Amino acid sequence: MPTLHVPKDPRLCVTACAQLPFRYHSRTKNQWARDDPAFVVVLAYLLLVASLGWSVAFNRYSLFAVLRLAMYVITVDFLAIGAVMATIGSWLSNHYLHEKAAWHSWQEEGSGRLRETVEWQYAFDIHCNAFVPLFLLLYVLQYLLLPVLLRPGALPALLSNTLYALALGLYHFVTFLGYNELPFLRSSQYFIYPIGLVAAAFVLSLPFVWHSGFSCTWLVVGLYFGDDW
């Protein structure tokens, strides 16, 4: 039975609790990924509920409209993008970031020795963990702030873009935490570098915000509901 060491720092405590299931699986089942799809099902259900709320907010009351939006956010925003991120993350980890010479990158398996690798399922689990703060910010908080974010002007647009930058930054930070948990990876800090790209995109968008009111919320609403909402 693995021993849990509780850190004194609250931030480290949250990180340790978030990664505890992966440590337990690695030590007891020789795998890092979850073996239960329940978390994916829960996230899909939350997206379905969020789709219902967004559809009602934009006067889309038909069952077909709700299911169409839910199908899009579940299959594209969550599953498809998650599959791409998991594929890229596991491929980069196994081909470029793996510490092949480290003693802890090998496990006894019968009479042979097997090098641990980043499972695609574990990379997708990381995406699911990172999707939680993104969901709370972009599907819940943004929904509550729609009366403000959809107003014309630079300040609502700035608030919208700040919200998206924060959500994407947190997504990549939690992604970094997930890969950083693997003891056989080196230079896992590369997974935090996209935060710099998010920050750069935010700064570059500022002139468009002040001159034309460029808003990520307007873009997403147009994508979900068309130009006639």
- The answer to whether residue 28 scores a pLDDT higher than 90 is no
More confident site: 7 or 220: 220
* Per-residue pLDDT tens digits for 75-92: 999 999 999 999 999 999
What is the reported pLDDT for 42? 97
- Give the predicted TM-score (pTM) of the model: 0.81
pLDDT at residue number 192: 94
Contact 33, 122 (CB under 8 A): yes
pLDDT at 43 over 70: yes
Q: Is 67 exposed, middle or buried (0-12, 13-18, 19+ CB in 10 A)?
A: middle
Residue 106 has pLDDT above 60, yes or no: no
The pLDDT score that the predictor gives to residue 34 is 73
Per-residue pLDDT averaged across 12-31, rounded? 50
Q: Which of 44-53, 184-193, 194-203 has the lowest mean pLDDT?
A: 184-193
Contact 14, 7 (CB under 8 A): no
The encoded tokens of residue 1 equal: 């039975």
Q: How far apart are CA 4 and CA 33, in angstroms?
A: 19
